[in-house]
Amino acid sequence: MPGTEVAGDTGRDFEQRALALARAIYDPSGNQGSVMFRGREHDAVFISDRNVVALEFTTLGKKDKAKYDGEKLRDILKDFSISPEHRYKSLQGFFVTEQEPNVDQRAVIEQIAKASNLQIQAISLTTLRKLLIDTEAYIALRRQAPFGSTDYRLGDPIKPSAQSMPYVEPKLQEGDSTLSLSDVLARAAQGGRLVLTADYGAGKSEALRQGFERYRKEHFRHPANRPFPLHINLRDCYGLRSSREVIRRHAEEIDFPAEGGLLAAWRAGACTLLLDGFDELVPTRWVGGARDLRQVRRQALEPVRRLIEETPTGSGIIVAGRAQYFTSDPEILETLGLQAESASLVRLLDLTADQVPELLGDDTARLPHWLPTRPLLLRFLAAANLLPLLSELPQDAGEAWRQILGMIARREADRVSAITPSTFQALLARVATASKSSADSDGALSMKDLRTAFRAVCGYEADEEGLQVLQRLPGLASASTTDMNDESRRFVDISLADAAYGYDLSEHAQAPYADHPLAQQAGWATASRDLSIAVAGASLVGKSFGAGTVTSAYARRIDLNVSDSILFDLARLSDSLESDGKNAKLPAPFFAELLIPNLSLSGEAASLVSRGTFRDCLIDEVDVQDIDPEMGGLPTFISCVIGHISGWSDVPPALQNNFSDCTLEAFTSAAQTTAGLFGLDLPQTERIALVILQKVYAQAGAGRRESALSRGLPLKDRESVAEVTARLVNSGLLIKSPGKNEPRLLPSRAARGAVLHVLARPSAFQLGRLEAEI
């Protein structure tokens, strides 16, 4: 047979792709395809009430191949033309090549068509695809629309260069392996299914936009065998139910008229799916228990799950979002309709010390350990000219962020006449509180919300100058990337929002009976992160207030029988300031239906949180490394879902009654617990050093109190803890901060990578070697 492709070569793969595309155009039900006719196989024949379409596919550029296939098309179409059943139907034949047909092939096909008086054409696969969808038009329109949170207009007072900083390709982590963005994109291009997670502002949306651009270039470079990228902002799809509705809504959002073609192209496997923001479909509040919230999430993500499940095998998918509302990796996969054995969970990491100069250039400062190196935050700090000042701030994250807020407020107050720095800081803090109760999952605030905050803080309606202040409020970006008339705002980084809220929490604690949003029932279920509590504590200490100040606000809330996230914040704030056991005299708190990112327990039985009861709460992680099972200090958990318990390989028998009807999804491996580390065949100093490093580095946050480092260690080894701790501080492996009541040990940014590496392989630990690396 002239020019026949060899079975098993790339020609067969091409035929399968071309057949899928032709089916999407002519037979969406997928019931028709190749046929045998008069002893010869035809690649595809599609028959409808009005049309008969026959196609032959080839990767060969030979003239005799065109002649052979052209005659096959002629013969089968002639037979249909004289058949009574099909005599009056439109007849069409296509000789489809992988690349553009050459001159000789076109001439042969035209000659056969003219001689037989039939419509037979030589076209490329790209031309065939345009019958389904014009990918050039789609991509052009998609590029003009927003890509998630990218391109935020940070607004005044930034420098123009901050908007055009270079893209620094992030590092990504899958288990113990480090990947590049190129690795992830290559997997998806080969049909892989990947979930990309990271914190807000870390660059998820920008990574997907970069992926879109790279896939776009590959598609235009090799249109016949590279799928086009289909990028969907999932936040536009809330309330939808089916995959069809998601595709149609996406087409509407970018003003692409051929939604049917887009849907057919997806079903034909002609695209790679990039889905941004799965977490933005999850409601911020719910009524019921922690297990009910799982069902709420599952229902909210139903259209995304269907879209993923119905995507043809072989089509790649990257779906991105924040993992904070899910208790575990398995829940993320199950909710998205992915299988653990065939999907990959990849976490996008903050920029490393080597990458920061690539982003900031000459503006690079020696970044302190407490500053997250998220691109969006760094862009804002660079724009506000704050980076050079960071290295002069205290090591304590709470006090440092308190000072940053003060710096921002002073700079902004110099630009207006009627608002003082303290008022500016209070306004920013009140806006942060308003963002927590915003119905938008990213805390988007309307101009009405901003006006309300202004009136509450300043005591009068925003005048012309006040409106200017609100429009350029530092630390906030425009919530819209395209609509210049949209005045809604959103915090550029979660840490900045946490710090600002912490200041507002301290203001409420000082005057719990005053008219303040935090005096009301919380309109949000998510508890604050450690940074908010640290900033609140630093703000109170800076004004010479102690734990007794917080006691009044806490007691008032207990009297009102409120069990919300604000009560939890006040309890933690009081515990962070308490040092003499006075909290033991306060009523034990009760917390219900909270979303808690991290619950770090001090091991002090007198603390409010340790005496508390948690019912129907969803807790990402409970840190029990400072808990001594024989001494107690563990709260009571009822019907809670806990994603990970850090510090135990199982619940100690003495504390099992503290967990009633709870789901505990994961524990620390036995080798990583204090008992496991002390069971290693290492010298005493090495084992103590390992335990201390594990406690300080394993959990991000405000570090560890010096007195907590010896908890859980054998009594005979506790007397050596101070000596080993001093050695770790002197060698730069730990940073010692004065703290509010007693010194705290903090992780060192410079040593973090090396420490985490040895903690993953503790049996080979050598303290001297680690010290030499730093």
pLDDT value at position 7?
37
The angle at the Cα of 518, spanning 513 to 521, to the nearest 5 degrees, equals: 100
Mean pLDDT of 217-237: 89
Query: Please, which pLDDT band fits residue 488 given cuts at 50, 70 and 90?
Result: confident
Question: Which segment of 141-155, 565-579, 614-628, 707-721 scores lowest on mean pLDDT?
Answer: 141-155
What is each CA distance from 379 to 56, 167, 361, 385, 646, in whole angstroms? 54, 11, 11, 10, 33
pLDDT band at 152 (very low <50, low <70, confident <90, very high): low
244: number of Cβ within 10 Å: 18
Pick the CATH number of 671-773 from 1.10.10.10, 3.30.200.20, 3.10.129.10, 3.90.1570.10: 1.10.10.10
690-706 residue pLDDT tens = 989 988 887 655 678 88
At 46 the three-state DSSP class reads strand
Least confident piece of the model among 81-95, 188-202, 356-370, 463-477: 356-370
Please report the beta strands in 343-475, taking only residues with DSSP state E, as ranges in sequence order. Answer: 343-348
Instruction: Summarize the confidence of residues 738-742 as an average pLDDT.
Output: 70
Q: What is the mean pLDDT of residues 531-558?
A: 91
Write the pLDDT tens digit of every residue in 354-391: 888 888 876 666 778 788 888 888 888 887 888 888 88
Confidence of residue 82 (pLDDT cuts 50, 70, 90): confident
Question: Given a cut of 60, is residue 159 above it in pLDDT?
Answer: no
Choose the weakest-confidence range: 347-351, 434-438, 481-485, 566-570. Answer: 481-485
**Mean pLDDT of all residues belonging to the chain:** 86
The pLDDT confidence band at residue 617, using thresholds 50, 70 and 90, is very high
Mean pLDDT of 344-351: 91
The neighbour count for residue 429, using CB atoms within 10 Å, is 26
Q: Does CATH place domain 10-132 in 2.60.120.430?
A: no
User: What confidence category does residue 739 fall into, taking pLDDT thresholds of 50, 70 and 90?
Assistant: low
CB 619 within 8 A of CB 640: yes
- 199 pLDDT band, cuts 50/70/90, is confident
Instruction: Kindly indicate the confidence band of residue 482, based on its pLDDT and cuts at 50, 70 and 90.
Output: very low
Q: Angle of helix 103-116 relative to helix 63-82, nearest 10 degrees?
A: 20
Digit-coded pLDDT (tens) for 247-288: 999 999 999 998 888 998 898 888 999 999 888 876 655 666
Residue 290: exposure state from Cβ atoms within 10 A (0-12, 13-18, ≥19): buried
Is residue 530 scored above 60 in pLDDT? yes
Residue 686: CB atoms within 10 A of its CB come to 19
Q: Order of strands across the sheet with 641-646?
A: 595-600, 618-623, 641-646, 663-664
- The predicted structure's pLDDT at residue 487: 67
Asked whether the predicted pLDDT for residue 121 surpasses 70, the reply is: yes
Q: Taking residues 595-621, what's their average pLDDT?
A: 89
C-alpha to C-alpha distance for 380 and 467, rounded to whole angstroms: 21
Residue 94 has pLDDT above 80, yes or no: yes
Stretch 184-204: mean pLDDT: 92
Please, which pLDDT band fits residue 440 given cuts at 50, 70 and 90?
very low
Q: Which of helix, strand or coil describes residue 768?
A: helix
Sign of torsion over alpha carbons 124, 125, 128, 132? negative
The confidence score (pLDDT) of residue 740 equals 64
Burial 467-499 (b: 16+ CB within 10 A, else e): bebbbbbbbbbbbbbeeeeebbbbbbbbbbbbb
Give the residue extent of every domain in the chain. Answer: 10-132, 135-348, 375-669, 671-773
pLDDT digits (tens, 9 = 90+) for 723-738: 999 999 999 899 888 7
Give pLDDT, residue 438: 67
- CATH class of the domain at 135-348: alpha beta
Q: How far is CA 471 from CA 591, 599, 647, in A?
A: 37, 36, 46
**Whether the Cβ atoms of residue 728 and residue 734 lie closer than 8 Å to each other:** yes
pLDDT at position 157: 41
- Cα 529 to Cα 531: distance, rounded to the nearest angstrom: 5
Please report, rounded to a whole number, the percentage of residues in the chain having pLDDT higher than 70: 91
Q: Does the pLDDT at position 164 exceed 70?
A: no
Statement: residue 104 has pLDDT above 60: yes
Structure tokens belonging to residue 218: 């590959």
Confidence at 303, pLDDT banded by 50, 70, 90: very high
pLDDT > 80? residue 24: yes
Give the rounded distance of the alpha carbon of 704 from its chain centre.
28
CB–CB of 669/698 below 8 Å? Answer: no
Per-residue pLDDT at 312 exceeds 50: yes
| Topology match between the domains 10-132 and 671-773 | no
Q: Which among 82, 70, 52 is positioned nearest to 111, based on CA atoms?
A: 70
Contact (Cβ atoms closer than 8 angstroms) between residue 42 and residue 85: no
pLDDT of 467:
83
Per-residue pLDDT for 8 more than 50? no
pLDDT at 9: 41
The mean per-residue pLDDT over the stretch 475-503 comes to: 76
